[in-house]
With several copies, the nearest count.
Chain A
Amino acid sequence: MLPEIEGTTPFDSTMARRGYALNKMCFSFNHQANREAFRADPEAYMRQYGLTPQQADAIRSGQVLAMLEAGGNAYYLAKFAGIFGLDMQDIGAQQTGMTKTEFQAKLVAANFQ
């Protein structure tokens, strides 16, 4: 077993197996029409992709950490975030429990590491 990395879950075989349906749905959001179909009826769209109850709950919650726990991959989840017009700093703030301003300050502080 590999050592754990704090606050980090590499997308390995365990996560890839767990997250397939969720990631496949997010991959479909490359297309505008699919993003609109999701927006029009999220529940039907999730059923169409066979999301697990855990995955569907995570999507409903809007919480990225829950989506990751359900096997979501950052590269595909980014397309889901796009539906809500969230940028990467919104996402970072949400996951770290900071305000966006705090999260931005944390990034800038890396200059003085």
Chain B
Amino acid sequence: MAKIIGAVGTSHIPAIGGAIHKGVQNDPYWQPFFGGFPPVQQWLGQERPDVVVMFYNDHGLNFFLDKMPTFAVGAAPQYLSADEGWGIPAQPPVPGCQDLSWHLIEALTEREFDVVTCQEMLLDHAGTLPLKLLWPEGDGQGGWPVEIVPVCINTVQFPLPKPGRVYALGRAIGEAVAAWQSDKRVLFVGSGGLSHQLDGKRAGHINKGFDLQFLDSMVSNPEWATRYTNHELVELVGTQGVELLMWLAMRGALVAAGPGVREVHRNYHIPISNTATAVLALTT
């Protein structure tokens, strides 16, 4: 059976890619953000996952409103990046774990999740940056140390899937991974949030109190945020802060690893760009 080694939640922001590209991670502006990652990198160096299930939200690169999925599961041999509109250089391709992709697609359909299957899929910054943050050497040229299965969750267009449904998706994926006939070591990543709002007169909205409570809930009370509707979450954490749904899915998946979740490391920093950023690593 496959082994679940833990879960990581992290923010994603296009500007992070720009900072990596320019090599300014230690500048005073960026250090409080990038400084949160070495302890997580170290832990991953010991745990050596083979596969990442990446919960992320597309920002209008791979999906448009003509075919907007609620849940989409990648099943491609590799995932290319592309220009997202700002001319930032595309990330190197990431190899896919097709065996796990199809195992998940089959398990999810059996459990009445109605997923979109993607045998070809462009990965935007939300899918690629977590890999660069967790494995900074990744594809300098020596390849990536992991294969991935991207799971895209709609945060673009309402109605979004309900927080409880997203958590249940995560749980179903965790249980399917735990039952996967494989000797691979699997990590769950949730990419998004925390509180931020890009659009409207309330642009710049940040809710530190909620964020900190949400981070605590990830450790000890994982269903806590499912008490809110998505509309309430938008009010609390902003129109893009609702990306914390990715963390909910990631945390739901970790349930299958067993009881007794332990915090490996956390970091919280305001602001990068318009966002309250965080990284949190959990294991059992």
The answer to whether A and B assemble together is: yes
- Give residues in A with beta carbon < 8 Å to B: 2-3, 5-13, 16-17, 20, 23-24, 26-27, 29-32, 35, 64-65, 68, 73-80, 82-83, 87-89, 91-92, 95-96, 103, 106-108, 110-111, 113
Shortest distance between the CB of A96 and any CB in chain B (Å): 6
B85 lies within 8 A of A73 (CB): no
Shortest distance between the CB of B119 and any CB in chain A (Å): 5
A82 lies within 8 A of B85 (CB): yes
B85 lies within 8 A of A30 (CB): yes
B202 lies within 8 A of A8 (CB): yes
Shortest distance between the CB of B228 and any CB in chain A (Å): 13
A110 lies within 8 A of B201 (CB): no
B157 lies within 8 A of A82 (CB): no
**Cβ of B80 < 8 Å from any Cβ of A?**
no
- Residue B157 contacts which of A5, A73, A79, A88 (CB distance < 8 angstroms)? A73
Binds A, one of B59-67, B175-183, B214-222: B59-67
Tell me which residues across on chain B come within 8 A of A9, comparing CB atoms: 199-200
Tell me which residues across on chain B come within 8 A of A88, comparing CB atoms: 15, 198, 273-274
Shortest distance between the CB of B182 and any CB in chain A (Å): 15
Chain B contact residues, majority secondary structure = loop
Tell me which residues across on chain B come within 8 A of A3, comparing CB atoms: 231
Tell me which residues across on chain A come within 8 A of B202, comparing CB atoms: 5-8
**Cβ of B168 < 8 Å from any Cβ of A?**
no
Tell me which residues across on chain B come within 8 A of A108, comparing CB atoms: 270-271
B198 lies within 8 A of A13 (CB): no
A8 lies within 8 A of B234 (CB): yes
Chain A, residue nearest B268 (CB) = A111
- Residue B83 contacts which of A20, A26, A31, A74 (CB distance < 8 angstroms)? A31
Binds A, one of B2-10, B42-50, B203-211, B256-264: B203-211
Q: A88-B274, A110-B270 are in contact. Are A73 and B156 (CB under 8 A)?
A: yes
**Cβ of B128 < 8 Å from any Cβ of A?**
no
B273 lies within 8 A of A13 (CB): no
Shortest distance between the CB of B203 and any CB in chain A (Å): 4
- Give residues in B with beta carbon < 8 Å to A: 15, 59-61, 64-66, 75, 82-87, 98, 102, 105-106, 117, 119-120, 156-159, 197-209, 231, 234-235, 238-240, 270-271, 273-274, 276
Q: A10-B239, A74-B240 are in contact. Are A106 and B60 (CB under 8 A)?
A: no
B199 lies within 8 A of A29 (CB): no
Complex Cα distance A95/B202, Å? 8
B200 lies within 8 A of A89 (CB): no
B59 lies within 8 A of A75 (CB): yes
Known contacts A30-B84, A108-B270; can you find 4 more A-B pairs with CB under 8 A? A6-B201, A8-B205, A96-B203, A110-B206
B82 lies within 8 A of A8 (CB): no
Q: A11-B156, A12-B158 are in contact. Are A107 and B198 (CB under 8 A)?
A: no
Tell me which residues across on chain A come within 8 A of B98, comparing CB atoms: 17
A-B contact pairs, 26 of them (CB 8 A): A7-B205, A8-B201, A8-B234, A8-B238, A8-B239, A10-B231, A10-B239, A12-B159, A13-B105, A16-B119, A17-B75, A17-B102, A20-B120, A23-B64, A23-B65, A30-B60, A30-B84, A74-B198, A74-B199, A82-B86, A92-B274, A95-B201, A106-B204, A107-B206, A110-B271, A110-B276
Tell me which residues across on chain A come within 8 A of B198, comparing CB atoms: 74, 78, 88, 91-92
Complex Cα distance A87/B61, Å? 18
Tell me which residues across on chain A come within 8 A of B119, comparing CB atoms: 16-17, 20
Q: A107-B270, A110-B270 are in contact. Are A78 and B203 (CB under 8 A)?
A: no
Shortest distance between the CB of B176 and any CB in chain A (Å): 14
Chain A, residue nearest B240 (CB) = A74
Q: A32-B83, A91-B198 are in contact. Are A8 and B273 (CB under 8 A)?
A: no
